[in-house]
Amino acid sequence: MSESRSAYFVFPGDINTLTGGYRYDKLVVDGLSRAGWKIHLVSLVGDYPFPDESARALAAKQLASIPDNSLVIADGLAFSVLPNEVEAQKARLYFVALIHHPLALETGLTQLQASTLRALEIDALKHASHVITTSQHTADTLADFSVLPNKISVVFPGTAKAAIANGGQDDQYTLICVATLSQRKGHAVLLDALKLIEHLPWQLRCAGSCDRDRPTYDALIEQTQRLGLTHRVVFCGELSDTQLDSEYQQADLFVLASYYEGYGMVLDEAIARALPIVATRGGAIADTVPATAALLTTPGNSAELAAAIQRFIEDDTLRSSMKHGANEARQTLRTWEQAAAEFSNTLIQHG
């Protein structure tokens, strides 16, 4: 790679997309730019992680247009499914793969899709000069994808400062779930859990895109109606930062029923507001949230999830302890400036 601090950042679609992975990408890019890096954005067109031949051909042309000896940071959503295109350029480009979580571990894939993605990822990752992950869990998982530990660096996300949540109504507990409506996020399990504690005073507000996985959204609407919970569950859709902050401020408890998270930035964002958490242990979640602020359950187990939420609502001492734990953890969250500096140092060290 060249000696100057510049890089090309390759990703599919719109970097302003409101998901954890894209937000990590954007905030790291912003931080690198403020630190003096010249970052050239390269947006790939296509339905990733399943690009068709036309999208692959266009990606190949875009990679071929990057100047020789350039540092190329490539988000795993694209990098991991373009092994041939990456291999064609690896002799002249220095590829750093940014892996949020292995694509083959996505919930809802067919066996063929999962096996196809796994094979593509293993092939692509062997062409990376270095790999950056957003959690130690993901770094450890990449051993199953034939990536050696000395080829991996972990750069944890940062978290923006936020005001402490005020909570909802005195006679009702407001639960907030911030997650794209996709199968992996486990909203269906959460709805089943809440049906089991229908007698308790709660309301659920779900913030997250309803359009990115329309079949899942439609199924959740049908499930909500079938369970008779339409008056207690609100799907808010994708919200602006201001709107989302308002939702957080009115919440008493953050809930997340994900089957798997490569990190789970929304968990840190809940802690930033001193919100207690009830979530699963899926993926990196158990390593992300402080035990003093959270109750964690088995992914896919609605009864266990219901029992945890019930404990929070009914046990005043536990609720107070979790709030205190969240407030204490809030003080130790790292900033995005720290994350970007660590990302920069990693690029320099391994460049």
Can you give the pLDDT at residue 170? 73
Do 19 and 180 touch, CB atoms closer than 8 A? yes
- Name the CA radius of gyration of the chain, rounded: 21
Do 141 and 319 touch, CB atoms closer than 8 A? no
Can you give the pLDDT at residue 345? 95
Can you give the pLDDT at residue 19? 87
Mean pLDDT split into 10-residue runs, the chain, 351 residues: 76 92 95 95 96 97 97 97 97 97 92 96 97 96 94 96 86 95 96 98 95 94 98 94 94 97 93 97 92 97 98 96 96 95 94 62
CA gap 117, 123 in Å, rounded: 10
Can you give the pLDDT at residue 108? 87
Domain limits, CATH 3.40.50.2000, in the chain:
6-158+335-350, 173-330
Can you give the pLDDT at residue 214? 94
Whether this prediction's pTM lies above 0.85 is answered by: yes
**Taking Cα atoms as reference points, which of 113, 114, 154 lies closest to residue 133?**
154
Q: What's domain 6-158+335-350's superfamily in CATH?
A: Glycogen Phosphorylase B; (3.40.50.2000)
Which residue is associated with the tokens 């009702």?
Answer: 172
**Taking Cα atoms as reference points, which of 73, 135, 102 lies closest to residue 264?**
135
Long-range pairs, 220-226, Cβ under 8 A, ≥24: 220/181, 220/187, 220/188, 220/191, 223/188, 223/191, 224/191
Sheet holding 6-12, edge to edge: 38-44, 6-12, 71-75, 94-99, 130-133, 152-154
**CATH no., domain 173-330:** 3.40.50.2000
Which residue is associated with the tokens 């486990």?
Answer: 186
Do 168 and 204 touch, CB atoms closer than 8 A? no
Instruction: Tell me the two tokens of residue 230.
Output: 């339409």
Task: Characterise 165 by phi-psi region: left (phi > 0), alpha (psi -120 to 50), beta (else).
Answer: beta
